Amino acid sequence: MFRIALAASIGVIALAPFVARAADSSPARCTDISVPKSAIAAHNGKWIELTSEQWQFLRGVFVLNPNTPPGLPYGDKAVLAQVDGDPGGLVFFIDGDRACTPMAIPGVLVGMVRDVAASTISHEADGL
């Protein structure tokens, strides 16, 4: 239970600048990268830079995710922020020195992101 509360509190801390900007109807969905990075570090979390392939994969997930704004996310790379005890994470799309359009992902998707980096191909079904 403690781990769930910790993960939720990190999410609130990291997302606070985005909520504030959304309230003022600003189109910007970015904040200085130091804000979420410091929040994750303060909770002994991991800030994992993703490969180009992982970034492209997550752009596709972002577009299909009903909880994200329409269109492609900002930036040209991505990071995965995780805290101990939570198999999921928070993806930030990075645009220069700004962290943009955060997207929460479950542990199952984190596993797929790791598979993309390892070029692991796994087919669940027997085909058509």
How far apart are the C-alpha atoms of 116 and 92, rounded to whole Å? 17
Give the pLDDT confidence score for residue 122 in this predicted structure: 72
pTM over 0.85: no
Model confidence over 85-123: pLDDT tens digits?
899 999 999 999 999 999 999 999 999 999 999 988 776
Model confidence over 29-88: pLDDT tens digits?
899 999 999 999 999 999 999 999 999 999 999 999 999 999 999 999 999 999 988 999
Q: Is the pLDDT of residue 2 over 70?
A: no
Give the pLDDT confidence score for residue 92 in this predicted structure: 98
Contact, 46 vs 82, CB < 8 A? yes
